[in-house]
A and B are shown apart, each in its own frame.
Chain A
């Protein structure tokens, strides 16, 4: 929204403030002003000139040779093509070097052999009017050499505000509302708005108006006006204000509507009266399939939820949004029906949105305008019309239907509470004075102030005492509030073990496992999920996705993390990303259940050790086991295979207490499909809710270390390769019993002297008792048991 300072000056004296100062006042007390620009600034380099000589061009019929005085030391020669140029004329002159609003730069030139050092401009060239007939003629008393913009009074500082910052203020959709604010901020008088006070006594029959949709329209007034002549151009002053605030002048009838809208915020609409069949107005819902060609020439199929203004036969306007083309005020229209109404905000907004048509009118109606504005706007229109067209005739007082009063609202405000909440020492009298300056009426009622809300604030934003606290605070000045620490009892905040656990896991991941924490989208592309083998119907779905096809809500962060890992492959041959994030599962009704996950994806070039220590799978397993240990789960045996993870390699996977933890290599089918043939990719996934639940019980318990020496024993077993390592380890642990303190595989190989299908596993074992020094026979006993175990497993001890 653009606010003209010249316009504001009609209602409140701002002459002692710079435009930037006014902008700052509004930003600090009302709503943010995003910028200050000067309308007409591009005309600054133009000056008033005088044609001191004018003769025909010797070589061209339509050109004239002139000498122009523009206040410089010497006059300059200018070739002019306009037919209305003549000696003694005051004109708009563009000297050499200046740039016209259209971007044309004036240079020294020769036209048909004659020098031309500047340009005498037309209104069109200056974008001041559509007049192409000739050059702009200035008043004969215009001062030669003076800035053209100043001479014409074109300069107007304009404030820019973001409409979004005003949505809650129905009173700020026109200049008068801003003037009221500034008057209150500066403690100055607000000039009353000149209005037509009395309509003429009833003459012709009143226009029948019927409101069928009372919720969509609470009040509708129609005013019959007979013009002395068809629409014509508005006076300069009106045109310039419209231009300065961003509207294009059209004709005086339309311009006045816009002018009133920009002053008061209330849109009005003029119908060509003869075009209204049956000379009546019905405000109703559209019939299904009904059509309306709107002012922009588009034929629109209406929705039953659309509210329309109709005559006896057909819709003539989309209520509050746009008028119809065939009832538009045309070049020959002299009889008008001027509409001013109170339309329902939501109904207008939905219609505007439905038809992709956000007009200046709809933007205002959707803010819940003060219904009292409807009549005010008609009176203001009539006043302005009388100024510019004294011969126009108001046929009769407006006909109306509905009610234009808001409920008078009274609020009791406790001044002490107000001062406490704002944290400033503001006296009761000052509070009353601030409210009154904004148009509220305030009177003492015991300990409270009894405050009456003016209609322009009652339609939406001021409802309760706290709303008054805001009014008082912002006019008083928020910048005067000083910070102060809250005084409260010293208490430790509630413990948050889940979050503490997460912090520890993160510290391990980046500190011990060189992993980088990432963040991935909650949304999954349908096609990506399907490539990973996930079924689309097992997901929570977004109704209006941010992008077509990206409509699934992830179960866990693995799919997005995989996508990110693949995205990194080209630049980074190895790496590890992890994320702590939430995932969701669909549910019949209500809130989909949420789980917190930790997922990590690790990758490295293919071709290293495939399994066991040194392999990617082992590294991933180590991460998982480390994180489980970090949560206090010291021993927790995994099962081979993956549950509920179609992206996982079915054989190269381990699951801990499903769904607690999972480690898997990527399914070979996917590596191919994702273009990751040359990389090995592993996934770790931990259910943090589950981990937290289990961790709550697990606390490390200290045992004093044994004071007795240990025996180190190395054993190597040759076993069929089909015996899983886990079984071997179990067997050795059983063999070692209580005295086996540590067991660590240090070598694994096949081939060599081993029989085919056999492999060798070599272990360091550390034997120690807590109550005695172990002897040779203890070691022998261990070795014997190991040998027996090896035989049970189909192999034997290697020497």
Chain B
């Protein structure tokens, strides 16, 4: 019987190893371990043996049975793995076929940059302020220390709602705001000092349309009024803004600029991000003029009921349209207001 068991074991193991398919394995399993299988019948015949031999042979028979079962299981796993591998290899699936069409939709580039900057300034404790585009002459000019006879007020610069014969001292003339600066006045009058605001928005000038001139464009005003505010704080805010828009720090410099509502007034230049030694964008100077600004003129603070002896402030006016053109390399400002899908589609949210 021992021989028989050993023979069954060696034959069984060999057959298992040679089985090429799961069906074959199943047949072997039935032949050896099934209810009428060869091992099963050996186990059944154990009872006919002398009692002294039974434990030893019984143990052997069980070991053979278990060994064969394990071998079957192992071979089955191997065969399944092979079959899976073969199936995968013959799959024919082309993963490089295209996906479904990407959904359309996008944000206007001016608003994209504007919203980025709003977030940046909000993170520094600025609130976002807004004002009407059809604005009072008083807020667009007078409160900003722009004298009554200043040429900027005349019809060849400013777009007026009020006809000339109804403008002038004591009358409430109405203009399309020429800058976002009236929001300085609105915000300061409403909230008082100290105050930190940015105000993005549309502004209007009397201009003939061409690649670099628009009568409708966008600015972002910044205003901080607090105790002890000076030029270094303005410079810091401007540098932070430029890094935020252009994605990296640029070397900057301040030089004199004149605007009636700031004193001293500045122009901020940044190193041209497109060249090292001069190009068309910087007119070969390696500097590009990015942003005017200055310390808020005491007359403006007074016009907003803020005491210039106690408070000081800075303001800057970013040309949003221009910075958007710089950021994306847009060569013609007229694209911005074109509503052309072929333009808008190029800016993903």
Whether A543 and B339, one on each chain, are in contact in the complex, defined by CB atoms closer than 8 angstroms, is: no
A-B contact pairs, 30 of them (CB 8 A): A32-B257, A165-B258, A346-B149, A421-B230, A421-B295, A421-B312, A423-B233, A466-B263, A473-B264, A474-B264, A478-B255, A478-B256, A479-B254, A491-B125, A492-B125, A493-B126, A514-B104, A515-B105, A517-B107, A519-B339, A541-B161, A546-B207, A564-B339, A565-B339, A571-B342, A572-B342, A576-B104, A582-B133, A591-B132, A591-B174
B154 — which chain A residues lie within 8 A by C-beta?
Answer: 353
Whether B128 and A496, one on each chain, are in contact in the complex, defined by CB atoms closer than 8 angstroms, is: yes
Identify the closest chain B residue to A541 (Cβ). Answer: B161
Interface residue B108 (Cβ < 8 Å from any Cβ of A) = yes
CB < 8 Å neighbour of A481 from B134, B136, B235: B235
List residues of chain A with CB under 8 Å of any chain B CB. Answer: 27-32, 165, 167-169, 345-346, 349, 353, 366, 420-423, 464, 466-467, 469-470, 473-474, 478-479, 481-486, 488, 490-494, 496, 499, 503, 506-507, 509-511, 513-523, 540-546, 553, 560-561, 563-565, 567-568, 571-572, 575-577, 582, 584, 589-592, 594
CA of A592 to CA of B239 in the docked complex: distance in angstroms?
Answer: 37
What are the 7 tightest A-B residue pairs by CB atom distance, in nearest-first order? A564-B339, A510-B105, A470-B264, A423-B232, A484-B232, A493-B127, A514-B104
Scoring B residues 284 to 298 as 1 if CB is less than 8 Å from chain A, else 0, what string do you get?
000000000001011
B257 — which chain A residues lie within 8 A by C-beta?
Answer: 32, 165
B128 — which chain A residues lie within 8 A by C-beta?
Answer: 493, 496, 499
A594 — which chain B residues lie within 8 A by C-beta?
Answer: 132-134
CA of A136 to CA of B263 in the docked complex: distance in angstroms?
Answer: 54
The interface residues of chain B, by DSSP majority, are classed as mixed
Whether B159 and A542, one on each chain, are in contact in the complex, defined by CB atoms closer than 8 angstroms, is: yes
Segment at the interface with A among B30-38, B91-99, B221-229? B221-229
A27 — which chain B residues lie within 8 A by C-beta?
Answer: 255
Whether B263 and A469, one on each chain, are in contact in the complex, defined by CB atoms closer than 8 angstroms, is: yes
Smallest Cβ distance from A17 to chain B, in angstroms?
18
List residues of chain B with CB under 8 Å of any chain A CB. Answer: 103-108, 110-111, 115, 118, 122, 125-128, 132-136, 149, 151, 154-156, 159-164, 172, 174, 176, 191, 194, 196, 202, 204, 206-209, 215-216, 224, 226, 228-233, 235-237, 239, 253-258, 260, 263-267, 295, 297-298, 312, 336-342, 344-345, 349
State whether A466 and B233 are in contact (beta carbons under 8 Å apart), knowing that A522-B133, A522-B176, A582-B132 are contacts in the complex.
no
Whether A481 and B232, one on each chain, are in contact in the complex, defined by CB atoms closer than 8 angstroms, is: yes
CB < 8 Å neighbour of B174 from A346, A420, A518, A592: A592
Whether B206 and A567, one on each chain, are in contact in the complex, defined by CB atoms closer than 8 angstroms, is: no
Identify the closest chain B residue to A510 (Cβ). Answer: B105
Whether B125 and A490, one on each chain, are in contact in the complex, defined by CB atoms closer than 8 angstroms, is: yes
State whether A514 and B105 are in contact (beta carbons under 8 Å apart), knowing that A520-B337, A521-B337, A544-B155 are contacts in the complex.
yes
Report which residue of B164, B253, B264, B267 has the largest number of chain A beta carbons within 10 angstroms of its beta carbon: B264
Whether B236 and A592, one on each chain, are in contact in the complex, defined by CB atoms closer than 8 angstroms, is: no
B215 — which chain A residues lie within 8 A by C-beta?
Answer: 546
CA of A565 to CA of B340 in the docked complex: distance in angstroms?
Answer: 8
Smallest Cβ distance from B194 to chain A, in angstroms?
7
Smallest Cβ distance from A577 to chain B, in angstroms?
6
Smallest Cβ distance from B138 to chain A, in angstroms?
10
CA of A590 to CA of B340 in the docked complex: distance in angstroms?
Answer: 36
Smallest Cβ distance from B216 to chain A, in angstroms?
6
Whether A522 and B204, one on each chain, are in contact in the complex, defined by CB atoms closer than 8 angstroms, is: yes
Identify the closest chain A residue to B151 (Cβ). Answer: A349
CA of A572 to CA of B344 in the docked complex: distance in angstroms?
Answer: 13
Whether A568 and B160, one on each chain, are in contact in the complex, defined by CB atoms closer than 8 angstroms, is: no
Whether A479 and B255, one on each chain, are in contact in the complex, defined by CB atoms closer than 8 angstroms, is: yes
A542 — which chain B residues lie within 8 A by C-beta?
Answer: 159-161, 176
Whether A167 and B258, one on each chain, are in contact in the complex, defined by CB atoms closer than 8 angstroms, is: yes
Across chains A and B, the number of contacting residue pairs, with CB separation under 8 Å, is 228
A521 — which chain B residues lie within 8 A by C-beta?
Answer: 216, 337
Smallest Cβ distance from A685 to chain B, in angstroms?
16
Whether A543 and B155, one on each chain, are in contact in the complex, defined by CB atoms closer than 8 angstroms, is: yes
CA of A494 to CA of B190 in the docked complex: distance in angstroms?
Answer: 13
Smallest Cβ distance from A520 to chain B, in angstroms?
6
CB < 8 Å neighbour of B341 from A366, A464, A575: A575
Whether B264 and A469, one on each chain, are in contact in the complex, defined by CB atoms closer than 8 angstroms, is: yes
State whether A568 and B339 are in contact (beta carbons under 8 Å apart), knowing that A488-B194, A513-B105, A543-B163 are contacts in the complex.
yes
A483 — which chain B residues lie within 8 A by C-beta?
Answer: 232, 235-236, 239
Q: A493-B128, A511-B105, A563-B339 are in contact. List 6 more A-B contacts (CB 8 A).
A: A423-B230, A470-B263, A484-B235, A516-B105, A544-B206, A565-B339
Whether B263 and A592, one on each chain, are in contact in the complex, defined by CB atoms closer than 8 angstroms, is: no
Whether B233 and A484, one on each chain, are in contact in the complex, defined by CB atoms closer than 8 angstroms, is: yes
CA of A500 to CA of B128 in the docked complex: distance in angstroms?
Answer: 11
Whether B108 and A494, one on each chain, are in contact in the complex, defined by CB atoms closer than 8 angstroms, is: no
CA of A509 to CA of B106 in the docked complex: distance in angstroms?
Answer: 9
CB < 8 Å neighbour of B134 from A29, A560, A584: A584
A503 — which chain B residues lie within 8 A by C-beta?
Answer: 115
Identify the closest chain B residue to A480 (Cβ). Answer: B254
A473 — which chain B residues lie within 8 A by C-beta?
Answer: 231, 264
B156 — which chain A residues lie within 8 A by C-beta?
Answer: 353
Smallest Cβ distance from B322 to chain A, in angstroms?
15
CA of A492 to CA of B125 in the docked complex: distance in angstroms?
Answer: 6
Whether B254 and A506, one on each chain, are in contact in the complex, defined by CB atoms closer than 8 angstroms, is: no
Whether B161 and A485, one on each chain, are in contact in the complex, defined by CB atoms closer than 8 angstroms, is: no
CA of A517 to CA of B105 in the docked complex: distance in angstroms?
Answer: 8
Whether A30 and B256, one on each chain, are in contact in the complex, defined by CB atoms closer than 8 angstroms, is: yes
